[in-house]
Amino acid sequence: MPKRVMGVETEYGLTTATTTGAPSSLTPEDAAQRLFKRIVEWGRSTNTFLTNGSRLYLDVGAHPEFASAECDSIADLVAMDRAGDLIFQSMVDEANRGLEAEDMPERIHLIKNNVDSAGNSFGCHENYLIRRRRDFRARVDSLVPFFITRQVLTGAGHIRKQPGGAVYEISQRADQMWDAISSASTRSRPIVNTRDEPHGDIEKYRRMHVIVGDSNMSQTSTALKFATTEMLLVMIEDGVIMPDLKLQDPMRSIREISHDVSLKTTVELENGRMRTALQIQREFAEAAHNHYERQGYFADLDDTRSAMVTLWIEALDRLEEGDLDSLSTKLDWIAKHNILERYRTKGGLTWDDPRLTRLEFAYHDLSPAAGLATSMEKQGLLESVVTEEAVHHAIDNPPATTRAALRGRFVGAASEARRDFMVDWMNLRLLEADGARTVILKDPFSPVDERVDELLEQV
Ligand SMILES: Nc1ncnc2c1ncn2[C@@H]1O[C@H](COP(=O)(O)OP(=O)(O)OP(=O)(O)O)[C@@H](O)[C@H]1O
Ligand SMILES: [Mg+2]
């Protein structure tokens, strides 16, 4: 089975609360400025690459972004994703120490979700390298029903406020994606960003940039999201025709599916047939499994990939049987629903109750003191995919088997030597008095390169 690099980009929410209970005078924008203070002082910009090969970034506004280094294993990717959480959380901790030193009552919270309290949406994007084919566009279109329905496995759950009373729904992003349809000229447009920017050899590769996922707290949900999508990309590269499940109205379907936690809702296909999300997922899952079996790819899978492609089918079985509880340690939307629902029935609350909203935010809060999902993970109530050691290793170290290893070494050496340098996904540039020495890394798979060895000697 051919190798593939993947990366995850996570935008975080920032909220502030006070230790006194008084209203906070610190806006999320102020919080973001404080977070990036050190980075701006050091590099004069809010865009920086780290020794683990990843990128920290602050766009206008208040959503810090972590773009993980390129990973060629799902385990590395999950470790990188969690490392990103810990890196930003340590920046938040430092900013909070600053607030305390200034005698300010405000404290910043880092939230890994997709909707803030004002209803603004922000994203979690997936990046997959795929080998260039002329029919890329049509092929990606055939995946739209997969992306619309995978929320039943990978949704992060959400309390949706609406006239007539709030309800719990499966995905945070589903309602936001609706807006995207107005500008959609093809089916896949609101789901897959088609800007042709491969960050690699343009003759050979494309980068598929998926914008329709929820940020996941559960490592298992993250791993499942990437492992299932990867299976379908392998099929596309191999030229397999996908099951014809084209939806009549994808953006309407994504909402209808999200709104029904019983998973019984059917959506209309272009051919007039009606299908549940689970049925559509099963058709993709079975087609993928058949293809892997035919090609002998199962033998190539590492343990994490193997566990996740098996889980794909198992989880669909459990969901079809209505046995949601057996997935409550794996899937975010179910784990979160169980906690909120227990609290809700105990207190006789409606979904509009602000205490439930606070509890929902706590699930996504990354601070060790307030974070619910992170503490569930420590207690084994959410199953992790990688060890804590692996996550801590990923804070400072790039994946060893991709181009990120070269970037990480260069960033490490140049910062240590206090040299001026510039880096992006493809370029390593050492700035010198008489210009710059640049190495272009066109091969995302290659962790070794003589030119980089030479560049490092100049540092
Ligand atoms: N050749 C590649 N194929 C697939 N993914 C890649 C490749 N090169 C880099 N990536 C991943 O793509 C992501 C790029 O993130 P980044 O936020 O910088 O880009 P972007 O989303 O295109 O830009 P922006 O967020 O500024 O609009 C990273 O997670 C990175 O690991
Ligand atoms: Mg980005």
Q: What CATH number is attached to the domain comprising 203?
A: 3.30.590
**Same domain for 409 and 291:** no
Neighbours of 127 (CB within 10 A): 20
Could you tell me which residues are beta bridge partners of residue 49?
A: 55
How far apart (Å, rounded) are the C-alpha atoms in residues 53 and 43?
A: 16
How far apart (Å, rounded) are the C-alpha atoms in residues 198 and 180?
A: 23
Q: Is the CB of 129 under 6 A from ligand 1?
A: yes
Of the three residues 396, 429, 446, the one that is the final residue of a domain is 396
Note the pLDDT of residue 406. 98
* Pair of tokens at residue 343: 């609290």
The residue whose CA is least distant from atom 29 of ligand 1 is: 7
Q: Is the CB of 58 under 6 A from ligand 1?
A: no
State the maximum Cα–Cα separation within the chain, in Å, rounded to a whole number.
72
**Same domain for 408 and 390:** no
436 domain-assigned: yes
How far apart (Å, rounded) are the C-alpha atoms in residues 85 and 6?
A: 18
| Beta carbons of 88 and 12 less than 8 angstroms apart | yes
| Beta carbons of 177 and 118 less than 8 angstroms apart | no
131 domain-assigned: yes
How far apart (Å, rounded) are the C-alpha atoms in residues 183 and 179?
A: 8
**Same domain for 202 and 68:** yes
Is the pLDDT assigned to residue 182 strictly greater than 50? no
**Same domain for 387 and 275:** yes
Active site residue 59: yes
For 318-377, how does the pLDDT look when each residue is reduced to its tens digit (9 = 90+)?
999 999 999 999 999 999 999 999 999 999 999 999 999 999 999 999 999 999 999 999
Q: Give the percent of the chain with pLDDT over 70.
A: 97
Nearest to 233 by CA among 103, 139, 321, 347: 139
Q: Please state, rounded to an integer, the average pLDDT across all residues of the chain.
A: 94
Of the three residues 396, 422, 438, the one that is the final residue of a domain is 396
Ligand index nearest the alpha carbon of residue 399: 1
**Same domain for 409 and 359:** no
300 domain-assigned: yes
Note the pLDDT of residue 181. 45
Note the pLDDT of residue 446. 97
How far apart (Å, rounded) are the C-alpha atoms in residues 99 and 93?
A: 10
Note the pLDDT of residue 33. 94
Average the pLDDT over 117-123 and give the result.
84
Q: Is the CB of 84 under 6 A from ligand 1?
A: no
The residue whose CA is least distant from atom 4 of ligand 1 is: 129
**Same domain for 216 and 296:** yes
Nearest to 236 by CA among 137, 305, 309: 137
**Same domain for 325 and 294:** yes
Question: How far, in Å, is the centroid of ligand 1 from the Cα of 71?
Answer: 11
Note the pLDDT of residue 364. 98
**Same domain for 420 and 381:** no
For 11-38, how does the pLDDT look when each residue is reduced to its tens digit (9 = 90+)?
999 999 999 999 999 999 999 999 999 8
Q: Which atom of ligand 1 is nearest to the CA of 444?
A: 1
3-state secondary structure of 109: strand
Q: Give the percent of the chain with pLDDT over 90.
A: 86
Q: Is the CB of 207 under 6 A from ligand 1?
A: yes
Question: How far, in Å, is the centroid of ligand 2 from the Cα of 67?
Answer: 6
**Same domain for 408 and 392:** no
- Residue ranges at the known binding site for Mg(2+): 9, 57, 65
**Same domain for 386 and 444:** no
How far apart (Å, rounded) are the C-alpha atoms in residues 102 and 396?
A: 30
Q: Which domain range does residue 287 map to? A: 6-396
Is the pLDDT assigned to residue 128 strictly greater than 70? yes
**Same domain for 89 and 29:** yes
Is the pLDDT assigned to residue 187 strictly greater than 60? yes
Could you tell me which residues are beta bridge partners of residue 401?
A: none
Helix H, strand E, coil C: the string for 199-245 is CCCCCCEEEEEEEEECCCCCHHHHHHHHHHHHHHHHHHHCCCCCCCC
Note the pLDDT of residue 189. 67
Q: Is the CB of 211 under 6 A from ligand 1?
A: no
Note the pLDDT of residue 25. 93
CB-based burial label for 42 (10 Å; 0-12, 13-18, 19+): exposed
**Based on the structure, what is the number of domains in the chain?**
2
3-state secondary structure of 290: helix
| Beta carbons of 7 and 402 less than 8 angstroms apart | no
Of the three residues 374, 396, 418, the one that is the final residue of a domain is 396
19 domain-assigned: yes
134-148, 283-297, 427-441: least confident range: 134-148
Q: Is the CB of 69 under 6 A from ligand 1?
A: yes
Phi then psi for residue 180, to 5 deg, are -70, -20
1 domain-assigned: no
Ligand 1 mutation target, pool 136, 199, 210, most atoms within 8 A of CB:
199
Note the pLDDT of residue 179. 53
Is the pLDDT assigned to residue 70 strictly greater than 60? yes
Note the pLDDT of residue 121. 86
**Same domain for 280 and 415:** no
Vertex 388: Cα angle to 385 and 392 (nearest 5): 120
The residue whose CA is least distant from atom 8 of ligand 1 is: 199
Vertex 176: Cα angle to 175 and 178 (nearest 5): 70
